[in-house]
Chain A
Amino acid sequence: MAAVSLAIVGKSNQPLYLREFVPEVGAFPDESVLFGLSQSLPPLPPPSTFRNGIFQCSLKQEFLLHAALDRFEELSGPPPGYGWRNRPGADGMFMGLLGVVDELRIYGYCTTTKIKFFLIVDDEALSKQQQKNADEDIKNLLKSLHQLYVEDLLNPFKSLDDLTVLSKRFEAQLMNYIAAFNQSEGMI
């Protein structure tokens, strides 16, 4: 199981950070044209996906994100949707599996300040126990990503009007966490 991409969405559903970790295999060939970008995506994951004010990511990721946002709104609506929220800390913030598309699974994590983290992983079918452990690992990963986001927010030079995450330190540490996650999950 490997993490495919991460999205951080803000309070008013504006994108704060979008990043793919694996170049899309079999992606739409006209992707760059569809986005109106003249450069093609490099074979390795791009170092910075924020260019000219827009995040670069594949359409597939965008579709998944929108589906996840819809599902999230269902979950956070009137009860019994609120059931998962009553536990303290990361347990209460972890929303769990939001949806499955093809072989991709999308997990959500929503902080008390309405900052939402979506992690897309590609996955094979696992036994119930293995799936539980995997979920636990994903929850811990999202918790550390939340911590990273908070550390970036504490940078005194960060503008409060535009909350997009542009920090290199954030990206570097994020890649470390994702690499560690992919390695540990690859064992399953």
Chain B
Amino acid sequence: MSKSSASTNGATLWAKTPKANAELFSLTYGSLVTEVVRDADGNVNEINEQLEKIGYSIGIRSVDEFLAKSNAAHCRSLQDTAQVLGKTAFKMFLGIDCDVQILSPTTFSLIMQENPLYLFVELPENYKETLQYAILYCGIIRGALEMLNYKVECTLVKNILKGDDVDEIKVELKQILQDGAGDDYKED
């Protein structure tokens, strides 16, 4: 799957999807985050974990929608998956153009110049360095790829809210899972 066909595919899909108001989207996520912050009582790790879990449950559901709507070809390698994820999927759901950087046969990075989640957001001083606002995306990627039998670890490497110029999500392949029947259905 060539790079350009992934992005053209993404652009056509973005044109076809129904749109939502960006302000509504950002404000909804913002109030979700403040609610989680209030519940967590200062424990930033717990906040990040909660947001990642929310992303995970979004990811496991939206991967089916993505595969149904896009006619992305079979990915023969992780590189292909990276291109489809960054160019087609992110474009289709969020309208963001992502840059994909392959770091190694098992790692790649998604680089975003701007992030629709960040509209109006300014992190307070006590959370500025530690709260990973866009960790939702990490959860989504982890969930989506797990449904496709890739067990990955996603980390937010660079963060616009912290002062960097771009957002960078690093995705590392840990394990390729086996399909199989669960314990209840195993034949002896």
> A155 is contacted by which of B29, B37, B120 (Cβ under 8 Å)?
B120
Among A151, A154, A169, the most chain B Cβ lie within 10 Å of the Cβ of A154
**CB-CB contacts of A52-81 with B at 8 A, as 1s and 0s?**
000000000000000000000000000000
Contacts of B123 in A (CB 8 A): 157
- Neighbouring A residues of B127 by C-beta, 8 Å: 157
Cα–Cα, bound, A109→B23 (Å): 26
Residues in B whose Cβ lies below 8 Å from that of A13: none
CA distance A168 to B9 in the complex (A): 40
Quote the shortest CB–CB distance from B162 to chain A (angstroms). Answer: 13
> What does the 1/0 interface line of B1-41 toward A look like (CB < 8 Å)?
00000000000000000000001000101110110010000
Q: Does B121 contact A (CB under 8 A)?
A: yes
Query: Is B124 an interface residue when CB atoms closer than 8 A count as contact?
Result: yes
| Contact across chains for B124 and A156 when beta carbons are under 8 A apart | no
A130 within 8 A of B: no
Cα distance, A151 to B123, chains bound together (Å) = 14
A156 to B127 alpha-carbon distance, docked (Å): 13
Q: A-B pairs with the 8 shortest C-beta distances?
A: A156-B30, A154-B120, A156-B34, A157-B124, A155-B122, A167-B122, A169-B122, A155-B120
Residues of A113-163 contacting chain B, CB below 8 A = 151-152, 154-157
A: interface residue count bin: under 10
Contacts of B23 in A (CB 8 A): 154
Inside 8 A of B31's CB, which chain A residues have their CB?
Answer: 156
**Shortest Cβ gap from B50 to chain A (Å):** 15
Chain B stretch 138-174: residues in CB contact (< 8 A) with chain A: none
Q: List 17 A-B contacts (CB under 8 A).
A: A152-B122, A154-B27, A154-B120, A155-B30, A155-B120, A155-B121, A155-B122, A156-B27, A156-B30, A156-B33, A156-B34, A156-B120, A157-B30, A157-B34, A157-B122, A157-B124, A167-B122
Q: How far is the CB of A151 from chain B (nearest CB, A)?
A: 6
Chain B interface residues (CB < 8 Å from chain A): 23, 27, 29-31, 33-34, 37, 120-124, 127
A156 to B133, CA, bound (A): 12
B117 to chain A, nearest CB (A): 10
- Which one of A152, A156, A168, A169 has the greatest number of beta carbons of chain B within 10 Å? A156
Q: Please give me the residue from chain B that is nearest to A167 by CB atom.
A: B122
Residues of A near B30 (CB, < 8 A) are 155-157
List B contacts of A169 (CB < 8 A): 122
Q: Which residues of B contact A154 (CB under 8 A)?
A: 23, 27, 120
Residues on B with beta carbons closer than 8 Å to the beta carbon of A167: 122
Residue of B nearest to A168 (CB): B122
Closest CB-CB distance, A114 to chain B, in whole Å? 22
8 additional A-B residue pairs with CB within 8 Å, beyond A151-B120, A154-B23, A156-B29: A154-B27, A155-B120, A156-B27, A156-B33, A156-B120, A156-B121, A157-B127, A167-B122
In the complex the two chains form, what is the Cα distance from A156 to B23 in whole Å? Answer: 12
Tell me which residues across on chain A come within 8 A of B122, comparing CB atoms.
Answer: 152, 155, 157, 167-169
**B contact residues around A152 at 8 Å (CB):** 122
Chain A residue, CB-CB nearest to B28: A156
Cα A155 to Cα B37 with chains together (Å): 14
| Chain A residues closer than 8 Å to B34, beta-carbon distance | 156-157
A154 to B120, CA, bound (A): 6
State in angstroms the CA–CA spacing of A73 and B145 once bound together.
Answer: 62
Q: How far is the CA of A155 from the CA of B161 in the complex (A)?
A: 13
